Structure formats: structure tokens, C-alpha cells
Amino acid sequence: MLDFIDISFLDILDILLVAILLYYIYKLLKGTVAINIFLGIAFIFLIWKITEALKMEMLSRILGYLLSGGVIALIIVFQQEIRKFLLMIGTTNFSSKRSFLNQIKFLKSEISSETNVTILVEACKKLSTTKTGALIVLERTNSLDFLTNTGDTMNALLNEVLLESIFYKNSPLHDGATIIRDNYIVATRVILPVSNSATIPSRFGLRHRAAIGVSEKTDAVCLLVSEETGEISYIKDGGFELYADYNELIDKLRNDIA
């Protein structure tokens, strides 16, 4: 009687993989209009499965044709998202680049690969007191190469004065975002994808939307100094990470990029 509860290991694996797939799709579409299209399709799929189970031949066949024929339409509608999805999967380094580097640290003792978080926060504090706008993106496991190409590449060891001078208002490099990989500034004047999320309060402009955008599309985290208020924001996973003081911010950063 309880035959239907007979769940094998492969069933659990199947459910787990579908859950991971759905999570990635949700992460990709969160805050965009595409999420409504996705929910619409999921709803039609659910109805189709119910009509199939209830053996409602005609309706299930119509919905089946609609869904199978719609695959091509979906590829066209979601062209951008599919591209980003593949990029996200393709650039996810499951073995964690940093832990690998840490393991072979003894081979390159004089070169530090770990981001110096204190330098970052000290630079932001200085920029904050002068109300100088800044947008710093910290690469994690997803490669940001597709973004660095939109700006000027450089290869400079992270340095507080250098960071401050990049964002200095009259500097030719101050516009756009600066990308940090390990302990290096690898690009400046980078154009980030802007978030369309309707939940971002209207007082936040493009700088904040760009920081949220890149943290939605990739696993990068951002430090942002507002030109208007001098406030330092820490952005992660498409949202603001709150912190009580600078020490907590440093701890959070260390945790997230270690």
C-alpha cells in the first residue's frame, strides 16, 4: 500500500539536482521581469502534470504541445539569461581557487594572494570622510573576466593610496567600478550590470543598482561609498549586508572572501 513511498537514492539525488537547478534559475532571474515569465511557465507545467495524472487527455495534450513547442520561444525570450546561466556555471570554481592557493602558499611565500581587507576598509573610510563616491567589486569564485573587458585592465598590488587616487573626483579612472582579484586591483572604469529590482528604494541611484546587479549575477561582493552621504555599504547576494562597526565589516569581508 505504501509502495509510492519507496524512494531510492537516485530519487533523492534527482530531487536535489532539480532543487539546485531551480535555485540557480531563481538567483539569475530574481528581481527581473523574467521571473514572472518563469513563474508563468512553472504554473502551466504544474497544470499539465495534474491534467496528465487525472488522464484529461485533450487538455494535457494541448498543454504538452504548448510546452514542447515553446522551448524555442523560451530560448529566444531568455537568450540573455541563458547566456549568463551558462557563464555562471562555467566560471564556478567548485574547488575554490583560494583554498588551493593557500595549500601551495609555501611555494610562493613572498607573494600574498589573500586580499588585504584592512587596506580596503581603510581606503573606504578615507573616501567616506571626503564623500568621494567609490565602487569596489571583490571577485570570489565566479570569474569577472567578462566585466574587466568593459574597463581598463591593470595589475597593481592593492594599496590604500592607489585606491583613494583611483576614485578621486578629478581622476580619469574614477568613473565606474574597480575590480579586485586576490590582493590585486585588476581593472578600473568597469561597467557593471545594473539591477532592475523593484525592491531597491528610489533614493539609491545607479552606483547602488550596479553593485546589487553584479552581486545578483555572480557571487562577487561589493564595497560602495556613497558620494551623497559618504555611507559605506557592503553588498552581497543582491542585497545590503548590515554591520555594526568597521571591525564587524572587516570580519564579514574576511569570512566572505577567504
**Residue 135 β-bridge partners:** 224
Residues 190-249 that bind ligand ATP (CB under 6 A): 191-192, 194, 204-208, 210, 226-228
Shortest spacing between CB 88 and ligand ATP, in angstroms? 19
Candidates 82, 91, 133, 240: give the one binding ligand ATP (CB under 6 A).
133
**Residue 232 β-bridge partners:** 225
CB pairs under 8 A, 24+ apart, for 155-162? 155/184, 155/185, 155/186, 156/184, 156/185, 157/183, 157/184, 157/185, 158/115, 158/116, 158/119, 158/120, 158/183, 158/184, 158/185, 159/119, 159/185, 160/119, 160/122, 160/123, 160/126
For ligand ATP, which is the closer residue by CB, 48 or 193?
Answer: 193
Q: Report the distance separating Cα 164 and Cα 21, nearest Å.
A: 41
For ligand ATP, which is the closer residue by CB, 102 or 171?
Answer: 171
Binding mask 90-129 for ligand ATP (x = CB under 6 A): ----------------------------------------
Q: Report the distance separating Cα 223 and Cα 120, nearest Å.
A: 8
Q: Does 172 bind ligand ATP (CB under 6 A)?
A: no
- Which span sits near ligand ATP by CB under 6 A: 27-35, 53-61, 64-72, 174-182? 174-182
For ligand ATP, which is the closer residue by CB, 80 or 247?
Answer: 80
Contacts to ligand ATP by CB under 6 A: 133, 135, 175-177, 191-192, 194, 204-208, 210, 226-228
